[in-house]
Amino acid sequence: MPEFDQPIYSTSDMQDRVDQYIGQFKEGYFSPLSLMARLSEETGELAREVNHFYGEKPKKASEQPKTMEEELGDVLFVLTCFANSLDIDLSEAFNQSMEKIETRDSDRWTKKD
């Protein structure tokens, strides 16, 4: 993973930074339906990169190089917009999800020794 001279952001920092960026535009956040469509679009672009890198479909010579890191960043941006538009704290949503998964799936997989 490449190193950057940029600070590391917590989810709260990410949500604040995205909110500051979006807040400078009159249009503000897109509607939940539009954000869901954008999230699906960005997820599709990530899937395309995964398929190029790990799958059987190589890139065409005419296609611009992109990275999974770039595509994951795009997914995170749109997901953060989605959360902000609905006033959802991503840290809290993540914690709730992890508690559910850690309880539900605690004995589902083979544990390492």
Q: How far apart are CA 102 and CA 99, in angstroms?
A: 5
The answer as to whether 93 is a domain residue is yes
CA 79 to chain centre: 5
CATH of the domain at 20: 1.10.287.1080
Residue 113 domain-assigned? no
Q: Which helix (H) or strand (E) element contains residue 55?
A: none
pLDDT tens string 39-80: 999 999 999 999 988 988 888 888 777 788 999 999 999 999
Whether 86 shows a pLDDT value over 80: the answer reads yes
Q: Count of domains in the chain?
A: 1
The residue ranking higher by pLDDT, 31 or 106, is: 31
Residue 93, number of CB atoms within 10 A of its CB: 14
Decide if 20 contacts 101 (C-beta within 8 A): no
Q: Token digits for 56?
A: 């059987």
Domain-embedded: residue 4: no
Residue 70 lies inside a defined structural domain of this protein:
yes
pTM, two decimals, is 0.84
Domain with 80 in it: 11-104
Q: What is the pLDDT of residue 2?
A: 52
Q: Tell whether 6 is covered by a domain.
A: no
Q: How many CB atoms lie within 10 A of CB 59?
A: 14
- Residue 4 — pLDDT band, cuts 50, 70, 90? low
Whether 112 is in a domain gets the answer no
| Structure tokens, 62 | 């005419």
